[in-house]
């Protein structure tokens, strides 16, 4: 009944094709994640949270794997793919939420969201997997085997460019007395356009 009603509600061929592509994913999520918005399933809220984290991890792994395969096929370094496709794709939801919050008059919250998410990604989203890998899955037996090998050419240049961008952003905010106005927006957009080719090179 769910499939037939969903198919009949789509009027155009494009919407029907999109719906057919989404049906397997919707079915899997519906079967594996308890719907806690119903009172009957509210006691499974912990399981719902765990399953949501699990599927986020699965989707993140698939995205990283597909981007890696695409980069290897096109002979593009992993660092460039990460700084372009993955970074842009992951930043769109944060951008939308920040714009909505800023439109409600909570500018400090929008700014904290953009900077706090990056800090969280660097410290925890990278730190915890590296800790688990180096602690429980060493590259070789012995004390010297507990490390994570990063195989990315030009990573030091990318890191230096990103640190330079961070320094310039804080400098611009300082000289503008920490006010986010049109000048800061123009500076930051131009800064991204100028430094992006050098980071990707």
Q: Which of 155, 158, 150 is nearest to 134 (CA)?
A: 150
pLDDT for the residue 47: 92
Q: What is the pLDDT along the chain (201 residues), one digit of tens a residue?
A: 444 456 666 677 887 788 888 888 888 988 999 888 888 888 889 999 999 989 988 888 888 888 888 888 888 777 677 767 777 777 777 778 888 887 888 877 877 877 777 778 788 888 888 888 888 877 665 556 677 777 666 677 777 877 888 788 888 888 888 777 788 778 777 776 665 544 444
Measured CA to CA, the distance from residue 32 to residue 50 in angstroms comes to 11
* Residue 168, C-beta contacts closer than 8 angstroms, at least 6 positions apart: 191
Measured CA to CA, the distance from residue 93 to residue 91 in angstroms comes to 6
CA angle 80-184-114, nearest 5°? Answer: 55
67 within 8 A of 82, measured Cβ to Cβ: yes
> Exposed/middle/buried for 141, CB within 10 Å: 0-12, 13-18, 19+?
exposed
Tell me the domain boundaries of the chain: 13-74, 76-139
> Exposed/middle/buried for 168, CB within 10 Å: 0-12, 13-18, 19+?
middle
pLDDT for the residue 151: 66
**123 DSSP 8-state letter:** I
Is the model's pTM score more than 0.85?
A: no
200 within 8 A of 159, measured Cβ to Cβ: no
CA angle 103-172-111, nearest 5°? Answer: 30
79 to 144, 151, 157: CA distances (angstroms): 26, 10, 10
């Amino acid at each position: 009944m769910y499939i037939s009603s969903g198919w009949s509600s789509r009027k155009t061929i494009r919407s029907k094709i999109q719906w057919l592509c989404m049906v397997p994913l919707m079915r899997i999520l519906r079967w594996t994640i308890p719907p806690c918005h119903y009172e009957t399933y509210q006691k499974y809220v912990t399981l719902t949270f765990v399953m949501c984290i699990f599927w986020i991890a699965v989707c993140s792994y698939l995205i990283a794997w597909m981007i890696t395969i695409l980069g290897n096929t096109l002979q593009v370094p992993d660092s460039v793919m990460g700084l372009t496709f993955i970074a842009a794709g992951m930043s769109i939801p944060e951008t939308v939420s920040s714009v909505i919050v800023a439109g409600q008059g909570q500018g400090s919250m929008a700014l904290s969201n953009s900077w706090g998410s990056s800090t969280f990604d660097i410290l925890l989203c990278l730190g915890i997997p590296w800790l688990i890998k180096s602690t429980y899955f060493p590259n070789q037996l012995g004390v010297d085997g507990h490390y994570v090998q990063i195989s990315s050419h030009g990573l030091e240049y990318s890191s230096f460019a990103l640190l330079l961008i961070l320094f310039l952003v804080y400098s611009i905010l300082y000289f503008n007395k920490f006010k986010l106005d049109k000048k800061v927006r123009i500076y930051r957009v131009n800064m991204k356009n100028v430094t992006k080719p050098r980071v990707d090179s």
